[in-house]
Chain A
Amino acid sequence: MSEIKVMKQRDMQQVTAQQRVIKIVAKVITYIFLFTMALIVIFPFYWMIISSLKTLDEYRLSIPTLFPKFIDARNYIEVFQNKDLLLGKLFMNTLYVGLVSTILSLVITVLSAFAFARLEFKGRNALFGFLLATMMIPGELFTITNYQTVNAFGWMETFTVLIVPFLVSVFYIYLLRQNFLQIPNELYLAAKVDGTTDLKYLWKVMIPLSLPNLISITILKMMGAWNSYMWPRLVANDDAHRLITNGLRTAFTDASGNTDIPVQMAAVALVSLPLFLVFVFLRKYIMKGVSRSGIKG
């Protein structure tokens, strides 16, 4: 009996040692994998930064340099010296449009996703299917019709025209619906028995639990304001409403329509920086909040 026990113990020890080795190897592989992928994913960002530090001549080399021959900060100076650019105004316009459309869009998305994920009503699945179907038609064709619509509304050259048409995104509603569906339905039913209202339940349980995705949507929506240029150029290309990407795209072109890309990159890097810092901070802060409150699932 005791012999068998000892053998078992030895086995167990061996097994745990083996497990420990496997665990360490797995960790190492995980890190190697993550760092390699990170390197690949970060490359365009790196490219943007080094391009902003190159001279135009070096940038135009047929065989691009992986590192600038010499760091040239002149591009950044030029961005600030270009008095026609109104960088501050562009930035404030974009910030305003970004913030307002993000907040409104979040409210609409959360309400819609909640309805699709938790409320029972006739036509729910059909409506959801229909919304999904609208995603399947290439939107390139919608531009002219939407232009005519906003023109009929008298929205040309206003902030409204930059904010309202793209407030609803089926893409995000669908995302959040899936996220809400991950939360066990028992919680909702329990809350109903307790007499909690839907909105309270949404606010106290659903939103905290899906914060990571809500943050993702916020980031994407804000970046949308930063990167959009086709629609804004079409409907509000005046000084009072012009958004950042549009301002940058037209400011540094020569007569033949060639863009001084290094200066443009410098400008892009400059205006992206505050946004980036805000998000890093926001993400960190909210993640902390999530782990502190604990997921009470």
Chain B
Amino acid sequence: MKRIIASLLLVVVLLTGVIGSLSSCDWIPGNKKPAADFVMPEGGYDGSEITIKFYHTMGAALTSILTDAISSFNELYPNITVEHQSYGNYDALLSQINTEITVGNQPSLAYCYPDHVATYNVAGAVQALDELVNSTIVEERADGTTETIGYSAEQRADFIEAYWNEGLSYGDGKMYSIALAKSTEVLYYNKTFFEQHNLTVPTTWDEMEAVCRQIKEIEPGCIPLGYDSEANWFITMCEQYNSPYTSATGDNFLFNNDTNRNFVKKFRQWYQERLVTTQELSGGYTSNLFTGNSSNATEGSEASKGTRCYMCIGSTGGATYQRPGNVNGVYDFQVGIAPIPQVDVNNPQVISQGPSLCVFKKDNPQEVLASWLFAKFLTTNIEYQARVSENNGYVPVMKSVQSDPTYMEFLAALDADGKENLTKNITAYAVRVAIEQAENCYTSPAFDGSSVARIQVGFLIQKCFTAEGSDVDALIKKAFEDCVGECNYQIGK
């Protein structure tokens, strides 16, 4: 017993002694220098055999669309081999690349959120794209056609401006990522119910409150509105009020201000009056409340449906979950989709989510170039963009995709008999509304800690809505202060 303790103490002493000398050695793994910054080779891509590694999160359906896109790409660039691997979800992808960066094993190209790019950037691992995007060097392709390395003026104009700007949200004016496909939040509403009771679809938050109260009078037991994501709600409201949320430089977490505390206080009141709920607060998917899919009782009986929502704000990416059940093709109710309510209808702000692409620094400039050419191919290839959108309700980043005949057929949302059926083809319907909103998308600053802020403001809303006490203002103030404190602590400030 004594011996065990003695020897352990010895080990601890030894460890501390050795550590001091270790800290400066560069044979410690992790002390590898990052790859050099990219310098455009004269003459661009030289046609050499290049293998690029592409990490993404696609499931089986999207992977098969990607495989087809890679074959089309290889008809143009037969010497560029694209090896791709799926990591299933964004968190897994993030920790994978974070770990790989420590030994310089990172892929050539990856799916990303701007938050992730900011993290990789701490290690200086991401290639700024400005030189590539603007390059006018002309490439000969294997099918005899040519293209410039960067986007042509035509393509640049075709790229949805708001999506483009997301790649510039890193605080230093440089572009580190390029949008691939974007979803946005829309308001799903029960059209049948709205028509039955002569309700108007709200376009502002004031109208929203009025409609909620009307619905509450019609059916006191219901919760008129469900909002899927608390964090999206908070960030979107900051943008709509034009009130500070975060900053990529200087003091990062700016959201503790009067405007923000006031809207949180207002919505807290809504929540307590049961006008609104969220996924976390209700304990189940809000889409279930909307579709009446929350109960396990016998189908058909009205009482079995549980509490209902008649409006639901959620992503276009999950449109099919907002579709009610049907018996022989007859849906329980018709779904309507509208833009989310605004503070100021003349200055609409909606969130955009979904994958972007980032290119990593590599010692071989040809590899960077090849990755870029593939990234550019994916963003500009109409076939790929259209099929991804049809599959999951994301908006193509190029406006011209919208005039592609096959894609237009999808957007028409027709039944087999040629009639428009928006509830059945809800994905197409959601994309239509999202396309109208595309230029209204805001981007929030991306920095090492923007993902922390996102998570914490979600908790903040939950806390402010549910906290009990007589002095609501003091409660909310305390919660905001704690939240900023936690954010700063987590990023080491």
* Physical contact A–B (CB less than 8 Å): yes
Q: Does B472 interact with chain A (Cβ within 8 Å)? A: no
Asked whether A62 lies within 8 Å of B60 as measured between CB atoms, the reply is no
Q: Does B17 interact with chain A (Cβ within 8 Å)? A: no
Contact of B96 among A61, A63, A123, A233 (CB under 8 A): A233
Q: Does A65 interact with chain B (Cβ within 8 Å)? A: yes
Q: Mark A66-89, 1 if CB is under 8 A from B, else 0.
A: 000000000000000010110000
Asked whether A60 lies within 8 Å of B285 as measured between CB atoms, the reply is yes
Asked whether B99 lies within 8 Å of A147 as measured between CB atoms, the reply is yes
Q: Mark B278-316, 1 if CB is under 8 A from A, else 0.
A: 000011110011000111100000000010000000010
Query: Which among B100, B282, B296 has the greatest number of chain A C-beta atoms within 10 A?
Result: B296
Contact of A256 among B285, B306, B318 (CB under 8 A): B318
Asked whether A62 lies within 8 Å of B306 as measured between CB atoms, the reply is yes
- What distance in Å separates the Cβ of B185 from its nearest Cβ neighbour in chain A? 13
- What interface size band does chain B fall in? 35 or more
Tell me which residues across on chain B come within 8 A of A2, comparing CB atoms.
Answer: none
Asked whether B85 lies within 8 Å of A57 as measured between CB atoms, the reply is no
- What interface size band does chain A fall in? 35 or more
Asked whether A252 lies within 8 Å of B59 as measured between CB atoms, the reply is yes
Q: Does B412 interact with chain A (Cβ within 8 Å)? A: no
Query: Which among A64, A65, A84 has the greatest number of chain B C-beta atoms within 10 A?
Result: A84
Asked whether B29 lies within 8 Å of A82 as measured between CB atoms, the reply is no
Contact of A63 among B100, B295, B354 (CB under 8 A): B295
Contact of A129 among B7, B103, B325 (CB under 8 A): B7
Tell me which residues across on chain B come within 8 A of A85, comparing CB atoms.
Answer: 60
Tell me which residues across on chain A come within 8 A of B29, comparing CB atoms.
Answer: 145, 148-149, 151-152
Q: Does A253 interact with chain B (Cβ within 8 Å)? A: yes
A238 to B83, CA, bound (A): 10
Q: Does A118 interact with chain B (Cβ within 8 Å)? A: no
Tell me which residues across on chain A come within 8 A of B62, comparing CB atoms.
Answer: 255
Q: Does B88 interact with chain A (Cβ within 8 Å)? A: yes
Contact of B283 among A60, A62, A252, A253 (CB under 8 A): A62
Tell me which residues across on chain B come within 8 A of A3, comparing CB atoms.
Answer: none
- What distance in Å separates the Cβ of B298 from its nearest Cβ neighbour in chain A? 10
Tell me which residues across on chain A come within 8 A of B90, comparing CB atoms.
Answer: 257
Given contacts A144-B102, A151-B103, contact A64 B296 (CB under 8 A): yes
Asked whether A125 lies within 8 Å of B3 as measured between CB atoms, the reply is yes
Q: Does B89 interact with chain A (Cβ within 8 Å)? A: yes
Q: Does A251 interact with chain B (Cβ within 8 Å)? A: yes
Q: Does B123 interact with chain A (Cβ within 8 Å)? A: no
Asked whether A62 lies within 8 Å of B85 as measured between CB atoms, the reply is no
Asked whether A63 lies within 8 Å of B294 as measured between CB atoms, the reply is yes
A161 to B288, CA, bound (A): 44
Asked whether A130 lies within 8 Å of B8 as measured between CB atoms, the reply is yes
- What distance in Å separates the Cβ of A212 from its nearest Cβ neighbour in chain B? 29
Q: Does A213 interact with chain B (Cβ within 8 Å)? A: no
Given contacts A253-B57, A255-B392, contact A61 B294 (CB under 8 A): yes
Q: Does B105 interact with chain A (Cβ within 8 Å)? A: yes
Asked whether A60 lies within 8 Å of B103 as measured between CB atoms, the reply is no
Asked whether A61 lies within 8 Å of B288 as measured between CB atoms, the reply is yes
Closest residue of B by beta carbon distance from A127? B7
- What distance in Å separates the Cβ of B376 from its nearest Cβ neighbour in chain A? 21
Asked whether B296 lies within 8 Å of A61 as measured between CB atoms, the reply is yes
Q: Does A126 interact with chain B (Cβ within 8 Å)? A: yes
Asked whether B59 lies within 8 Å of A251 as measured between CB atoms, the reply is yes
Asked whether B295 lies within 8 Å of A61 as measured between CB atoms, the reply is yes
Closest residue of A by beta carbon distance from B85? A237
Given contacts A62-B295, A130-B8, A256-B318, 13 further A-B contacts (CB under 8 A): A57-B325, A60-B293, A60-B321, A62-B293, A63-B306, A125-B4, A129-B5, A129-B8, A133-B8, A252-B59, A253-B58, A255-B391, A256-B315
Nearest 7 Cβ contacts at the A-B interface: A62-B284, A148-B29, A129-B4, A255-B392, A126-B7, A250-B88, A253-B59
Query: Could you give 21 example pairs across A and B, Cβ below 8 Å?
Result: A60-B285, A61-B293, A61-B295, A62-B285, A82-B60, A125-B4, A126-B6, A129-B7, A130-B7, A130-B8, A133-B8, A148-B103, A151-B105, A233-B87, A237-B87, A249-B88, A250-B86, A253-B57, A253-B89, A255-B394, A256-B318
